[in-house]
């Protein structure tokens, strides 16, 4: 349940930030999600949330575009269009995953320092 909530929170924050700010603001959204939830699955939550969001953006842009931009870029990179969209979502997912992991690592030290079982 907590993983699903973290996934949805990161996706919504990334969507809002990306509509208002530059593309790298997805890292800020995932970082904040990693700080807020600080679970064992921070990387996976950030990776899936941002990767799926970028895949949806790429599909929407491709379906609504009047010019065949994705086909032209795929010809330049010598890949087909589905592989291009997967590469796009992979790049966004890696940015989101590492940012969420960094946010969790930042909060991990302060939570562990208050836990007495680490001081034997």
* Sequence spans of domains, the chain: 2-107
- Residue 119, Cβ neighbours under 10 Å: how many? 6
pLDDT over threshold 70, residue 32? yes
| The model's pTM | 0.80
**Segment 37-40 long-range contacts (CB within 8 Å, at least 24 positions apart):** 37/2, 37/5, 37/6, 37/9, 37/104, 38/103, 38/104, 38/107, 38/108, 38/111, 39/2, 39/3, 39/6, 39/104
Instruction: Write out pLDDT tens, residues 46-63.
Output: 999 999 999 999 889 888
- In the predicted structure, residue 112 carries a pLDDT above the cut 50: no
Q: How far is CA 27 from the centre of its chain?
A: 7
pLDDT (0 to 100) of residue 2: 86
pLDDT attached to residue 117 = 55
Mean pLDDT of 66-89: 86
Contacts of 58 (CB under 8 A, 6+ apart): 70, 84, 85, 88, 89
Report d(CA 64, CA 10) in Å as an integer: 25
pLDDT at 116 over 60: no
């Amino acid at each position: 349940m907590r993983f699903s909530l973290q996934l949805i929170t990161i996706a919504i924050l990334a969507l809002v930030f990306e509509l208002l700010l530059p593309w790298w603001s997805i890292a800020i959204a995932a970082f904040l999600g990693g700080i807020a939830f600080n679970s064992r699955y921070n990387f996976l939550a950030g990776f899936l949330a941002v990767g799926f969001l970028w895949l949806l953006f790429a599909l929407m842009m491709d379906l609504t575009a009047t010019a065949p931009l994705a086909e032209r870029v795929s010809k330049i990179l010598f890949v087909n269009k589905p592989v291009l969209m997967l590469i796009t979502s992979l790049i966004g997912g890696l940015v989101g995953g590492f940012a969420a992991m960094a946010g969790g690592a930042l909060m991990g030290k302060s939570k562990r320092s208050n836990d007495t079982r680490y001081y034997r």
